[in-house]
Structure 1
């Protein structure tokens, strides 16, 4: 019982710490990313000075559901990137733990300690794949099989990309377990989206 409480406490602490550390940076990065989006697709309205750009940004955010979805997607994505790449120390050997990270126990200096890394890797991808499915729901359709397939595939590709960047840039370690747990989290995120979508249809929200 005590081990379970300790594990849940550690998971909650790590999640809250990750949210706290990355919130401001992710918010600013998402804000700037949407400026880039405006200049790419609304250059006539946004390209008239910074005041006009800010007004256009606010109006677009207020009027366009898709714009708000993209903003949220950028926000979630930047939080993941900050956690996995942008705030990591250099590793001398990124391949030192290729087969590690599968369980909740790790051996440190001959002593077994609880680690929440595998659980966090699952949780991390749930909001990401949910928001992706919500943002591009016209392309994914309403069938649960298609939603789960797309959410798992997107999480897998995203996770492999992160792991390869970690390997090439020596930021963290390349681990097969990360890819597996991220993919599981992506599928769960797709399931969360599907259940939420069906619940909204039933309740007419």
Structure 2
């Protein structure tokens, strides 16, 4: 999780400055995803992959660990875990906005939520494979 927070707040290599005087945000879904994909030859594949796949991978442990370590039944189903991942990501993005570090980006929330979902699916798949 520390890696996810580090990535979220220290992403200056992704065409974002560290601290801004202004609030920076993107409220248009797929705007930044499209920009990174369209600019992949300019930014380089490394930056594109880190931004698009990195946001997903950083939240996979969240989706895997929450149902594994929680004793609460609500944290054991895919919808709850996915919503918790989305809320956690929303919290991080809101902190970035309020602190003027990086930018609030709905695309990041979308990608992080997918990561939480895939982490949950991975956890379920590994549990099913153990019982076979």
TM-score (norm. length: structure 1): 0.51
User: What residue is the counterpart of 2:37 in the other structure?
Assistant: 105
Relative contact order, CA 8 A, sep 6+: which one is greater?
A: 2
Pairwise CA distance, 1:128 = 1.8
Pairwise CA distance, 1:96 = 4.9
User: What residue is the counterpart of 2:116 in the other structure?
Assistant: 186
TM-score (norm. length: structure 2): 0.75
Q: Which has the larger radius of gyration?
A: 1
- Deviations, residues 167-198 of structure 1 (Å, cap 9, x unaligned): 00011111110111111111111100111111
For the 8 Å contact 2:25–2:97, the answer to whether it is kept is no
Pairwise CA distance, 1:105 = 2.1
CA distance in 2 between partners of 1:200 and 1:82 (Å): 33
Q: What CA RMSD, in Å, does the superposition of the two structures yield over aligned residues?
A: 2.5
Pairwise CA distance, 1:83 = 2.0
CA distance in 1 between partners of 2:128 and 2:65 (Å): 16
Question: How many matched pairs?
Answer: 119
Question: Which consecutive unaligned segments of at least 5 residues does structure 1 have?
Answer: 1-76
Question: Which consecutive unaligned segments of at least 5 residues does structure 2 have?
Answer: 12-17
SS of equivalent to 2:33: coil
Structure 1 runs (4+) deviating above 6 angstroms are none
SS of equivalent to 1:150: helix
SS of equivalent to 1:105: helix
C-alpha spacing 1:199/1:107, structure 2 compared with 1 (3 Å): closer
